[in-house]
Amino acid sequence: MKGCTTEMKALITGANGQLGTDLCHALASAEVIALTHTDVDITDLYAVKSVVSLHCPDVIINTAAYVRVDDCETQRDKAFKTNALGARNVAVAAQEAGSKLVQISTDHVFGGIERPKPTPYTEFDTPAPVNIYGMSKLAGEELVRSLCNRYFIVRTCGLFGVAGSSGKSGNFVETILKLAKKNNEVKVVCDQISSPSYTKDVAAIIAKLITTEYYGFFHIVNSGTCSWFEFAKEIVGLADLKAHVTPVSSDQYPQKARRPHYSALDNYHMRLLGMGEMRSWQEALRDYMISKGHI
């Protein structure tokens, strides 16, 4: 790329989110251009092209997204404009600049298969989203694939990070802790299975991945699977709180957006490449809780 230095330069969108924040830490040895929505609106193609042209990054990591799953059902245009067209805009700019692109996606692209699934989804399983959020993120994946030559589409799941999600005002861990401190009982769904993941761990793998040419799809999650009920029980137990965590079915806890009953992910591509296993979600959760001062 003309005008670029030999030092790796990484441009991160959504840099004030929990994953974006940990990516800035994980890439501390690189030159990082950390951009928030105030700095660049990814739904504006010309704004994206302008900022990419200005900084000439070696890699762009697009963490910006509309992640309010329930609101996506009623704000369909906003969901597709951000998650699909926004991803397209970043892909077009990356292709023009010759930059590698990391597009962050989600486990919500899966879950549409009604039959029980015995094992987590790999990168080679066929997506089947059940809600608008998942549909919009899948559309973003497809646009990146068609418009950019050097891409890593990273699907992750159930993120929790020290910075908290800027789009959700926290994360599941903090929500459960808040409820458990105020109430004697906390009801949590027990029939939605996923792969909770610490953004610190996800960011560390992405930092390694972008130094390679292993383009394609990657699932990056902490190892193991659990229901949100099991996750909540672990959180409350680690914090040594007295609240009782009660399992309920999804039917007993209706939400605007349908959730996948099973959307656990398997880091299969990483394993095929010999990149090693990630630590368990329980170990990652303990690390997070210590970092936040909860234990």
Which residues form the catalytic set? 133
* Burial state string for 210-248 with b = 16 or more CB within 10 A and e = fewer than 16: beeeeeebbbbbbbbbbbbbbbbbbbbebbebebebebe
Give the residue from 109, 96, 111 showing the smallest Cα distance to 49.
Answer: 96
DSSP 82: I
Asked if residues 197 and 133 have their Cβ atoms less than 8 Å apart, the reply is no
Distance (Å) of CA 289 to CA 50, 73, 89, 163, 280: 40, 32, 37, 12, 14
Burial of 185 (0-12, 13-18, 19+ CB in 10 A): exposed
| Pairing, β 226-227 against β 193-194 | antiparallel
Strand partners, 216: 152
